Structure 1
Amino acid sequence: MSILLEVVTTARHFADLPTFLAATCVCLLTYLYLQRPRNLPPGPRGWPLLGNIPTLAKSAFLPATFTELSKQYGDVMTIWIGGTIAIVLSGYETIRTALVKRAEDLSSRKIPASVADLRGDGTTKSSVKGILYAAYGPQWKHQRKFALMTLRDFGFGKRSLEGKVNEEANALVQEVLSQNGQPFDPKIIIQNAVSNVICSIAFGERFEYGDPDFLRLIQLLNATVEENASLVDKIGTIIPVFRYLKGNSSQERMVKMFQGLQEFCREQIEKHRLTFDPNDIRDFIDAFLLEQQRAPEEKAREHFTDKELQEVLIDLFLGGTETTATTTRWGLLYMMLNPDIQEKVHQEIDSVLGQSAPSYAQRNQLPYTTATLAEVQRMKPVAPLSVPHAASRDTALNGYNIPQDAMIFVNLWSVHMDPQLFPDPNTFRPERFLDQDGNFVKHEAVIPFGIGPRVCLGEQLAKMEVFMLFVSLMQRFTFHLPEGAPEPSMLGKLASAINVPCPFELCAVAR
C-alpha cells in the first residue's frame, strides 16, 4: 500500500491523477498491442480489452454475420474474443485447404479450462480424454481409430445397426400416433429415439422412454446443449481471474452437468464389468473392456483406462444425439411449411415402399426424398461453425500467420449459402440435387459433418438415422401447422454450437 501511495504522490508531482491514469491506460494498451502476433489475417477493428465481443453480441445468427464480414475481410479473418485470437475460415476452397491439405497444422482443439480440468487427468489441456475435445495427436488418433473400428463391428452400415434404428423408428411412430393429431412439440420424442440408438450401441440395450435412468440421461444431454454463458463467464473471457469466481455461473452449471454425465457412464461401466464375458462382446463398453484385458500393460495404462472409456462414451452421446435429432426436426419443419414438397415425398415413398419398412439401401430408389434431406442439411447444417479447431503449431494460411493455439472457427454456413455453388441459396429447392433423369447427385460442397481428420465420428450412423426416421415418419403422417398458429421462425439459434430451431408445435395426421 505504501508503494502505491508513493507512486500516486509522485504522479501528482507531475500531473493530476486523471491524466496519470489515462497515460497508464495508454501505456498498457500500447504494450498489449505490441504483444500481438504480426501479420495476422485482417478483420474488423475491436474495442480495447473487449475485442469484437460488442459487435458479435448484436448478431442474430453468428455464422451469417461471419459470412457477411468475410466479404469485406476475406476467407481467412481475425476476430478478437476479449484478448483471445480467433481465426474464421470461410469458403469451400479455403476450408478444404485448411482442414484437408493442412490438417496436421489446423486440426487441434481450443480447450476451455473448465473442460480440460474435468475431462483430463488434471495435468495439461493435452491430457483431455475422449475424442471430441482431445488435442490432435497420437492419443486422439488411437482413440478415434479404435472407436471407428468398434462401431463398424457393431453395425455402421450393416443390417445389425439398421435393425436398431428400425426398432426406434417404430417406437417413434407409436409416440406420434399417441398424440391423436393434436398439436405437440416433437423435440423430446425425437431425442428419445436417437438417444436410444446410441444406448443400444454403447450399452447393448435400449431403454423404455419412461425409464428413470433414461430420463436422467436425456435431461443431462439437454442441459449440456442448452446452457448459455452468464455475465460472469463473458467477463471471464476478457479478465481470466473472473473464471474462478463462485456463483451461479453457466461454467459452474456446465461442470455439474458434465459430472452428471460422467457419473452415469461410470455406473454403466461398472454394471458391465460385473457381467463381462470375453466370449460374448455385447456392445462398445464390452469391446473396450476386452482391450483393457488383452493390451500390454503399458498400452492399457495409456489408451484403455476407465477414464478414457468414460469420456469416449460421453462424446458418443454429445456428438450423436442432439445433432441427428435436430436435423430430423428441421426436416419436419420444412415439410410443414412446404406442403407441395411434402406431397412429392409422400408420393415417392408410397410408390417405392408402400407400407413396407424402409431400408437404408433403398435411398437410391428414393432420389427426391434423399435430395430433400440433402437440402435440409445444406440450409440448416446442424453445426454451422463446426466444433472449433485450433492451430497445433505456428503456421500460415493464404499468406497470413496463424499462431499456435489460436481458436479456429470453420464457417460451414458460408459454403452452404454460397450463391456461386448453390444459386438462390435461401430457397428450399430439393431439385438442385437431381440430374435431368431425376437421379440424386451428391454435391461435394455439402459438408454438414465437416471434412478432414476431425470429420464427425458418427457421420455414417447419423445419415442412416436421419434417413430412416424421416422416411418412417413421412410414410405414416402428414405434418401441418396447428390451426391459427403463426409460422415458426426459420432463423434458428446456436445452442452450444448446435443450430437448433426455435420451439414449435406441429400436428401429425395419420395417413
Structure 2
Amino acid sequence: MLLLGLLLLTLLAGARLLWDKWKFRSLRLPPLVPGFLHLLQPNLPLYLLGLTQKLGPIYRLRLGLRDVVVLNSKRTIEEAMIRKWVDFAGRPQTASYQLVSQHFPDLSLGDYSLLWKAHKKLTRSALLLGLRNSMEPLVEQLTQEFCERMRARAGTPVAIQEEFSFLTCTIICHLTFGDKEDALVHAVHDCVQDLMKTWEHWSIQILDIIPFLRFFPNPGLWRLKQALENRDHMVEKQLRQHKESMVAGQWRDLTDYMLQRLGKPTAEESHGQLLEGHVHMSVVDLFIGGTETTATTLSWAVAFLLHHPEVQQRLQEELDRELGPEASGSQVPYRDPARLPLLTATIAEVLRLRPAVPLALPHRTTRPSSILGYDIPEGMVVIPNLQGAHLDETVWERPQEFWPGAWLGGCLRRGGGRGPVLWLQNPGSFLLPADRFLAPGASPRVLAFGCGARVCLGEPLARLELFVVLARLLRAFTLLPPGGTLPSLQPQARCGVNLTMRPFQVQLQPRGAGDWELGQHP
C-alpha cells in the first residue's frame, strides 16, 4: 500500500505543482523547497530550521499534495499569529482531524468561526473562573501525595515519565470530573495513551498526505476508530452522571460548570448554539492536551537537571531559603514567582529548548494575507516551527545551551548571586537581560504554548503544575542518575505531535534537615 501510495503521490504532486504555479502566478509567494518527502526527515523541527540558512525564516514546502508555509522565527510567527491573528486563525480539516472529531465539534482541531469562538470562551471561562479558588490547592495536594508515593520508592530507580503522566492525568481527572479514584484515572490514562499512539502512527498520518488511502484496508485506521469509540463512551458516561447529580447554580468541577453554561446565549452564538457535544470535546481536549504535554515537559526538566547538578543545587538552596525545610508544608508561592526566580527561569529555559509541541498544530489562512512582504493566499496551511523560533540565533545567544541563569542576568555563569528580574503580567514570563540578545529590540517571549487566537487554553494550568511539581520534588528529593547513567537530551528522531524523549530512570534521594541547613549557608 505504501509503495502504491508513493507512486500515486509522485504523479499527483507533479500535476498539483503545475496547477498551483499557474493559479498563483501573479503572487509573490515565499520560496519553495524542492521535494515532497520532508516528513521522512528525522528531527523535523531542526531540519526545517536548517533550511532557513538558504531560504530565510519563511518558505514553502510540499507535504504530499499540499503546499504549506513554514514560519521559523519569532518575528514571522508573531506577525502572523498576533498582529494578523484573524487571517491565520483557521485550522485545516485533514483526514485525521475529521476522524478525531467526526461526531462532535472539536476545539483544538476545529476551524475558526463565531461558534468556535463561543466554544473557546466556554472552555476558557471554565478553567479560569469555574475553579479559580480550588485549582491551586488541588494541584498542591495531589503533588504532595505524589511526593509521598515517591518517598516510599526512595533509592529505587523510577521511570519518572510514567509517574508524571499518571500525576497529570490524576490532576485533570479531579478538575474535570471531580474524581481521582484510581480506577477512573487508570481508565482515562490508558485511553489517552491509546489515542495518542494510534493517531500518531504513520498509517494514520499518511492519510493527511494522501487522503484517498483511507479507502484502502488499513489496520491502523480500525484501531483508531476503536480508540475513539472508547473515548466517547467514557466521556458520555461521565456527562450522564454529572447531569443526574449536579445542583443548579453550583459546580463541583469543570464539567458541571460547562454543562450549566449551556443555553446561556453569547454574542458568538448568533451563528449557532453550543450543545452538549461541545462540552464533550472540551473534556477530550483537556485530557489530550493536559496530560502528556505537561508530563513530557516535567520529564525534560528532570533530564536537564540530571545533566546540570549545579543548577539543581542552586534551585534547592533557593527553595530552602524561601520556603524552609520540606516538612514545614508551606505552600509553593505560584502567585508570587519573584520569590523563586531561578525556578521560574529554569521552567522558561526548558520550555524554550524543548517545547512539548514543537511544530504546534497547523493553521490555515481565513483570507488572503502576507508575512514579511510575501503573499499568503486564502486557504494556505501555515506551520509555526516553535522550536526553531526558540533556537533562532538572531534572538538568542548560544541558543542550543541549557542556561537558566541567562534569564537572571547570567548569574550561574558569573559567580553566583541573584540577578535582577523584570516581570511581565503573566506569571512565569519575564524579560531577558540585554546581553542575552543579538538583535536590538527582540522579544524574549517563549512560544511553547503558541500565541494569538490559537494559544493553548491550558497554559495557566500547565504553568501551575510545572511550578508546583518541580518545587515540591526538589524540596523533597535530590535527583540522581542511577549508576551514573545520564539520560539522552536528544528527542526521539521521529516524533508525532509531541516532542517525545527516550525513556530514562531517575533515583530520588530524600533530603533531610542537614540538606536544608546546607541550603541556608551556601
Quick one: which amino acid aligns to residue 154 of structure 1?
A: G
Post-superposition offset of 1:205: 2.6
Quick one: which amino acid aligns to residue 65 of structure 2?
A: G
- Check conservation: 1:493, 1:501, Cα contact below 8 A: no
Q: In structure 2, the residue corresponding to 1:347 is in which secondary structure?
A: helix
Matches within 5 A, 1:106-125: 106-120=88-102
- Counterpart position of 1:323: 293
Q: Note closer, same or farther for the CA distance 1:281–1:393 as it changes in structure 2 (3 Å cut).
A: same
- Counterpart position of 2:129: 153
- Counterpart position of 2:52: 70
- Counterpart position of 2:453: 453
Residue 378 of structure 1: which of 319, 342, 352 is its match?
A: 352
Q: In structure 2, what is the Cα distance between the partners aligned to 1:379 and 1:494?
A: 17
Q: In structure 1, what is the Cα distance between the partners aligned to 2:364 and 2:446?
A: 23
Q: Note closer, same or farther for the CA distance 1:483–1:241 as it changes in structure 2 (3 Å cut).
A: same
Matches within 5 A, 1:73-472: 73-120=55-102, 129-155=105-131, 158-208=132-182, 211=183, 213-227=184-198, 232-233=203-204, 236-249=207-220, 251-292=221-262, 294=264, 302-354=272-324, 355=326, 356-435=330-409, 438-441=419-422, 442-443=430-431, 444-472=444-472
Q: Which deviates more from structure 2 when the two are superposed, residues 79-88 or residues 492-501?
A: 492-501
Identity of aligned residues (%): 25
Q: Provide, for residues 227-279 of structure 1, a one-character-per-residue CA deviation record: whole Å limited to 9, x for no partner.
A: 46556546545543212222312x43333223322221111000011112103
Quick one: which amino acid aligns to residue 129 of structure 1?
A: P
Q: In structure 2, what is the Cα distance between the partners aligned to 1:456 and 1:231?
A: 25
- Check conservation: 1:232, 1:243, Cα contact below 8 A: no
Post-superposition offset of 1:294: 5.0
Give the unaligned 5+ runs of structure 1: 1-24, 122-127
Q: Note closer, same or farther for the CA distance 1:214–1:235 as it changes in structure 2 (3 Å cut).
A: closer
Post-superposition offset of 1:469: 0.5
Give the unaligned 5+ runs of structure 2: 1-9, 412-417, 423-429, 432-443, 512-522
Q: In structure 1, what is the Cα distance between the partners aligned to 2:100 and 2:158?
A: 37
- Check conservation: 2:353, 2:402, Cα contact below 8 A: yes
- Check conservation: 2:303, 2:487, Cα contact below 8 A: no
- Check conservation: 1:98, 1:397, Cα contact below 8 A: yes
Residue 31 of structure 2: which of 29, 35, 42 is its match?
A: 42
Quick one: which amino acid aligns to residue 279 of structure 2?
A: L
Q: In structure 1, what is the Cα distance between the partners aligned to 2:71 and 2:384?
A: 5
> CA RMSD for the aligned pairs?
2.6
Q: In structure 2, the residue corresponding to 1:173 is in which secondary structure?
A: helix
- Check conservation: 2:156, 2:508, Cα contact below 8 A: yes
- Counterpart position of 1:476: 476
Q: Provide, for residues 62-93 of structure 1, a one-character-per-residue CA deviation record: whole Å limited to 9, x for no partner.
A: 11111110221122211101111111011111
Q: Note closer, same or farther for the CA distance 1:64–1:31 as it changes in structure 2 (3 Å cut).
A: closer
- Check conservation: 1:75, 1:89, Cα contact below 8 A: yes
Q: Note closer, same or farther for the CA distance 1:285–1:431 as it changes in structure 2 (3 Å cut).
A: same
Post-superposition offset of 1:28: 9.6
Quick one: which amino acid aligns to residue 145 of structure 1?
A: K
Q: Note closer, same or farther for the CA distance 1:74–1:434 as it changes in structure 2 (3 Å cut).
A: same
Q: In structure 2, what is the Cα distance between the partners aligned to 1:288 and 1:411?
A: 33
* Higher-Rg member (1/2): 1
Q: Which deviates more from structure 2 when the two are superposed, residues 349-358 or residues 36-45?
A: 36-45
Q: Which deviates more from structure 2 when the two are superposed, residues 394-403 or residues 362-371?
A: 394-403
Post-superposition offset of 1:379: 0.9
Q: Note closer, same or farther for the CA distance 1:258–1:28 as it changes in structure 2 (3 Å cut).
A: closer
- Counterpart position of 2:414: none
Q: In structure 1, what is the Cα distance between the partners aligned to 2:135 and 2:497?
A: 28
- Check conservation: 2:345, 2:405, Cα contact below 8 A: yes
Post-superposition offset of 1:493: 5.0
- Check conservation: 1:130, 1:309, Cα contact below 8 A: no
Q: In structure 2, what is the Cα distance between the partners aligned to 1:152 and 1:237?
A: 34
Q: Note closer, same or farther for the CA distance 1:451–1:496 as it changes in structure 2 (3 Å cut).
A: same
Q: In structure 2, the residue corresponding to 1:104 is in which secondary structure?
A: coil
- Check conservation: 2:297, 2:356, Cα contact below 8 A: yes
Q: Note closer, same or farther for the CA distance 1:360–1:82 as it changes in structure 2 (3 Å cut).
A: same
Quick one: which amino acid aligns to residue 272 of structure 1?
A: H
Post-superposition offset of 1:429: 1.0
- Check conservation: 1:61, 1:493, Cα contact below 8 A: yes
Q: In structure 1, what is the Cα distance between the partners aligned to 2:445 and 2:323?
A: 30
Q: In structure 2, what is the Cα distance between the partners aligned to 1:300 and 1:101?
A: 26
Q: In structure 2, the residue corresponding to 1:500 is in which secondary structure?
A: coil
Quick one: which amino acid aligns to residue 198 of structure 1?
A: I
Quick one: which amino acid aligns to residue 115 of structure 2?
A: Q
If the length of structure 2 is used for normalisation, what is the TM-score?
0.83
Q: In structure 2, what is the Cα distance between the partners aligned to 1:27 and 1:171?
A: 56
Aligned residues: 467
If the length of structure 1 is used for normalisation, what is the TM-score?
0.85
